[in-house]
């Protein structure tokens, strides 16, 4: 009896696809035997591109390893190479293949929104889909940059920031009017024509016409001063000061271009920092550093090119993109980004003049930021080595999860875990769990911990059993429980019930009198132990424990606040915002509605007899 032949891998497996591949543009994926995506690439001709992998030799070490691991390939043809490039960027960002350049995408960048769906437009911070009608200005590099700019814009242009409901309900000027940060349109301190002038000035300023706006205000200030209207002149003076503050706080403001994104990349020791600067309306609206993951031998220009493609996968590219390297596929990338943005996009490497000076400053920032990052990573590596020694792990942990619970006498119970690893806290991986066990005794921390661990690791076990599923609940290397032997015993039992192995478990309990530095550590089969109070590993574990505590307490407070603000009328079908308002105005509170008679409820304007009966039954018959 002959044994079955082993499935093909490597160059032989890749060569087997060549007979059926078209000479057409498209995207290919290389997968290993476990089905994990190793690499995503695009090609002008799939047949020619894939044939280069089938040739033995002439590959660097990284490509050779990738080819050797390849057990399967998937292909998708496209209409053009430009479409293939867009699809490639999307797949790399979503799948994060090991051999591609990839980066952890952050939240969407915030913008300033000047609404246009109200007679008195609101000026506010906006993040996410641009579904609200209005003029958007951005992106800003951080929420802090937006908040600082908004704060100053309010002083300069006196536009309202309150919601429509607050605006409609005001009867007296608010505090913002008193401190000269709003013109008070809600109480008719300014008419619609005057407010529209403020809106137009704001738009002009944010569009880069700041000098025009300032000249107009200076002329008005001189006119008011000549007319002896010193109060009006002082107000205009304060507005001019606020505008000057915005411009001076933004650092480098270019004069040779109005709108651009700048990418400055610096590489050292196989690591790269890319500083992204945003310039809009001739102003610097902040910067943010990124640290893409890539092979150490990949040329920096290719790293930047791949990064830029992924960066604009869900963002609109500006008309000008400045890069610190000459990108090999610059023209194709510019065409692809322009196709998505629906306007022409130019990608250039500054050679001289103001653009080059700004790029040099950005490169200095990138170099310094990478230096700080490498220093932090070195210290982090030493700490993780110490954690591995402490808990008997074979290697430094890549993923540590720390669990904690929060409640007040059992009310609004919440469990949560935080995640940490070589790159510090992985905040996108944090999770909260509303405690659902109905028969839970108030304050039963053991039962809460059992529920949270069971729900979390049951999902992981299910995903690992289903090889086709996308793994969202990754397997940790170390689980830390905020608690002593009791909580640890619960965790061990949950792991045993679910068949979870190869995950280290430990408990960390507070010392006598809850003193920091006197914590006891608990592991199954070992006596409790302590660390030297000055141990860096102890400080690190305390930080992890405190971060878990902060996260779960914050979630608990939000849950409690939401419960305080909840109104039983919201649970009655047919009682919308208008009828709820009418009922509360008539009776004064939901409790008074609950104690009212059927006839009294029916007497409220807008409440029919049928709805009145439904409201009465809700409070007197349990809904």
Q: Each residue of 95-137: pLDDT tens digit?
A: 889 899 887 665 678 888 888 888 999 988 888 778 888 888 8
3-state class of 70 per DSSP? coil
Residue 224, CA atoms < 13 Å, CB-side half-sphere: 15
Residue 386, CA atoms < 13 Å, CB-side half-sphere: 15
Instruction: Give dist(CA 14, CA 47) in Å, integer.
Output: 11
Q: How far is CA 524 from CA 475, 488, 504, 505, in A?
A: 20, 8, 10, 8
Q: Each residue of 417-455: pLDDT tens digit?
A: 999 988 888 888 999 888 777 666 666 788 888 999 999
Tokens found for residue 489:
């015993």
Claim to verify: residue 237 and residue 277 sit in the same structural domain = no
Task: Return the H-helix or E-strand segment holding 451.
Answer: helix 445-465
Claim to verify: residue 611 and residue 537 sit in the same structural domain = no
In a domain, 343, yes or no: yes
Instruction: Read off the pLDDT of each residue in 373-377 and give the average, rounded to a whole number.
Output: 78
Q: Each residue of 267-315: pLDDT tens digit?
A: 987 889 999 998 887 778 888 899 998 888 889 999 999 999 999 988 8
In a domain, 536, yes or no: yes
DSSP 8-state assignment for residue 401: E
Q: How far is CA 530 from CA 341, 495, 519, 521, in A?
A: 58, 25, 6, 6
Q: Each residue of 403-420: pLDDT tens digit?
A: 988 765 545 678 889 999
Instruction: Give dist(CA 431, CA 182) in Å, integer.
Output: 39
pLDDT of residue 320 exceeding 90: yes
Residue 302's closest CA among 276, 271, 329?
Answer: 329
Domain of residue 538, CATH code: 3.30.420.340
In a domain, 454, yes or no: yes
**Positive/negative CA dihedral, 365, 371, 372, 373:** positive
Claim to verify: residue 432 and residue 353 sit in the same structural domain = no
The pLDDT confidence band at residue 256, using thresholds 50, 70 and 90, is confident
Claim to verify: residue 466 and residue 548 sit in the same structural domain = yes
In a domain, 436, yes or no: yes
Q: What integer best gives the mean pLDDT of the chain?
A: 83
pLDDT value, residue 469: 47
Instruction: Give dist(CA 92, CA 100) in Å, integer.
Output: 7
Question: Other C-beta atoms within 10 Å of 209: how many?
Answer: 16
Bridge partners, residue 45, by sequence: none
In a domain, 84, yes or no: yes
Instruction: Give dist(CA 235, CA 254) in Å, integer.
Output: 29
In a domain, 387, yes or no: no
Q: What is the DSSP string of 505-571?
A: EEEEE--GGG-TT--EEE-TTS--B---TT-HHHHHHHHHHHHHHHHHHHHHHHHHHHHHH--GGGG
Percent of the residues in the chain that have a pLDDT greater than 90, as a whole number: 28
Tokens found for residue 458:
């049951």
Segments forming the whole domain that contains residue 271:
260-372
pLDDT value, residue 560: 60
Residue 405, CA atoms < 13 Å, CB-side half-sphere: 24
In a domain, 73, yes or no: yes
Q: What is the DSSP string of 44-58?
A: SSHHHHHHHHHSSSS
DSSP 8-state assignment for residue 293: B
Domain of residue 326, CATH code: 3.30.420
Domain of residue 27, CATH code: 3.40.1440.10
Q: How many domains does the chain have?
A: 5
Claim to verify: residue 118 and residue 54 sit in the same structural domain = no
Does 186 or 588 have the greater pLDDT score? 186
Where helices occur in 135-174 by DSSP H, the ranges are: 143-157, 164-169
Claim to verify: residue 28 and residue 83 sit in the same structural domain = yes
Instruction: Give dist(CA 306, CA 310) in Å, integer.
Output: 6
Q: What is the DSSP string of 92-120?
A: HHHH--TTS-B----SPPPEEEEE-SSSS
Q: What is the DSSP string of 324-345?
A: SS--TTHHHHHHHHHHHHTS--
* Last residue in a domain, options 563, 587, 606: 563
pLDDT value, residue 315: 84
Instruction: Read off the pLDDT of each residue in 488-508 and give the average, rounded to a whole number.
Output: 91
Find tokens 């979870």 and name the residue.
Answer: 500
Claim to verify: residue 430 and residue 455 sit in the same structural domain = yes
3-state class of 611 per DSSP? helix
Note the residue count of the chain.
Answer: 623
Claim to verify: residue 610 and residue 510 sit in the same structural domain = no
* Last residue in a domain, options 95, 119, 134: 95
Claim to verify: residue 166 and residue 202 sit in the same structural domain = yes
Claim to verify: residue 305 and residue 268 sit in the same structural domain = yes
Claim to verify: residue 407 and residue 548 sit in the same structural domain = yes
Claim to verify: residue 513 and residue 580 sit in the same structural domain = no
Burial class of residue 195 (count of CB atoms within 10 Å of its CB; 0-12, 13-18, 19+) = buried
Phi, psi of 232 (to 5 degrees): -65, -40
* The Cα angle at residue 108 between residues 103 and 111, in degrees rounded to 5: 140
pLDDT of residue 3 exceeding 50: no
Please state the pTM of the whole predicted model. 0.64
Bridge partners, residue 40, by sequence: 29
pLDDT of residue 2 exceeding 60: no
Instruction: Read off the pLDDT of each residue in 155-170 and give the average, rounded to a whole number.
Output: 86
In a domain, 381, yes or no: no
Residue 159's closest CA among 207, 124, 206, 210?
Answer: 124
* The Cα angle at residue 363 between residues 358 and 368, in degrees rounded to 5: 130
Does 143 or 326 have the greater pLDDT score? 326
């Amino acid at each position: 009896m002959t044994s079955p032949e082993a499935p093909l891998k490597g160059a032989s497996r890749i060569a087997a696809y060549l007979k059926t591949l078209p000479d057409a543009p498209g995207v290919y994926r290389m997968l290993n035997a476990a089905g994990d995506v190793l690499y995503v690439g695009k090609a002008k001709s799939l047949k020619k591109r894939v044939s280069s992998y089938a040739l033995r030799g002439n590959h660097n070490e990284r490509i050779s390893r990738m080819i050797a691991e390849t057990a399967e390939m998937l292909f998708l043809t496209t209409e053009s190479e430009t479409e293939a490039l867009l699809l490639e960027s999307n797949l790399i960002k979503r799948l994060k293949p090991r051999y591609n350049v990839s980066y952890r995408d952050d939240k969407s960048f915030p913008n300033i929104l000047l609404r246009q769906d109200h007679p008195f437009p609101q000026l506010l911070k906006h993040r996410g889909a641009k579904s609200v009608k209005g003029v958007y200005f951005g992106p800003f590099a951080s929420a802090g940059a937006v908040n600082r700019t908004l704060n100053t814009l309010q002083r300069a242009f006196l536009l309202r920031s309150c919601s429509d409901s607050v605006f409609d309900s005001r009867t007296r000027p608010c505090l913002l009017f008193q401190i000269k940060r709003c013109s008070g349109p809600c109480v008719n301190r300014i008419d619609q024509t005057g407010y529209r002038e403020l809106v137009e000035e704001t738009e002009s300023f944010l569009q880069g016409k700041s000098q025009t706006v300032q000249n107009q205000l200076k002329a008005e200030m001189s006119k008011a001063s000549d007319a002896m209207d010193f109060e009006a002149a002082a107000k205009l003076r304060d507005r001019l000061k606020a505008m000057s503050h915005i411009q001076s706080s933004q650092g480098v403001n270019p004069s040779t271009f109005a709108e651009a994104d700048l990418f400055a990349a610096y590489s050292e020791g196989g690591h790269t920092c890319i500083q992204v600067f945003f310039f809009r309306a001739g102003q610097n609206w902040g910067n943010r550093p990124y640290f893409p993951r890539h092979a150490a031998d990949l040329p920096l220009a290719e790293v930047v090119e791949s990064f830029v493609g992924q960066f604009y996968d869900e963002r609109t590219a500006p008309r000008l993109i400045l890069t610190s390297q000459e990108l090999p596929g610059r023209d194709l990338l510019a065409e692809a980004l322009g196709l998505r943005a629906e306007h022409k996009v130019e990608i250039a490497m500054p050679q001289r003049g103001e653009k080059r000076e700004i790029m040099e400053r950005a490169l200095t920032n990138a170099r310094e930021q990478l230096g700080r990052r490498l220093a932090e990573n070195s210290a982090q590596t030493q700490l993780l080595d110490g954690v591995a020694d402490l808990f008997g792990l074979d290697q430094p942990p890549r993923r540590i999860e720390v669990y904690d619970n929060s409640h007040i006498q059992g009310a609004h119970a919440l469990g949560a875990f935080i995640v940490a690893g070589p790159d510090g806290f992985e905040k996108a991986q944090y999770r909260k769990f509303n405690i659902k066990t109905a028969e839970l005794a108030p304050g039963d921390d053991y039962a809460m911990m059992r529920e949270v661990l069971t729900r979390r690791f049951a999902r992981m076990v299910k995903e690992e059993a289903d090889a086709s599923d996308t793994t969202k609940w990754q397997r940790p290397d170390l689980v830390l429980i905020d608690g002593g032997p009791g909580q640890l015993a619960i965790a061990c039992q949950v792991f045993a019930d679910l068949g979870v192995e190869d995950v280290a478990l430990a408990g960390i309990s507070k010392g006598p009198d809850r003193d920091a530095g006197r914590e006891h550590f608990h592991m199954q089969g070992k006596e409790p132990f302590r660390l030297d109070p000055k141990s860096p590993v102890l400080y690190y574990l305390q930080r992890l424990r405190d971060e878990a505590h902060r996260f779960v307490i914050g979630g608990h407070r939000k849950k409690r606040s939401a419960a305080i603000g909840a109104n039983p009328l919201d649970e009655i079908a047919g009682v919308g915002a208008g009828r709820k308002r009418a009922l509360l105005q008539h009776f004064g509170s939901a409790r008074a509605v609950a104690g009212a008679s059927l006839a009294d409820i029916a007497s409220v304007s807008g409440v029919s007899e049928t709805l009145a009966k439904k409201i009465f039954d809700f409070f007197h018959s349990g809904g």
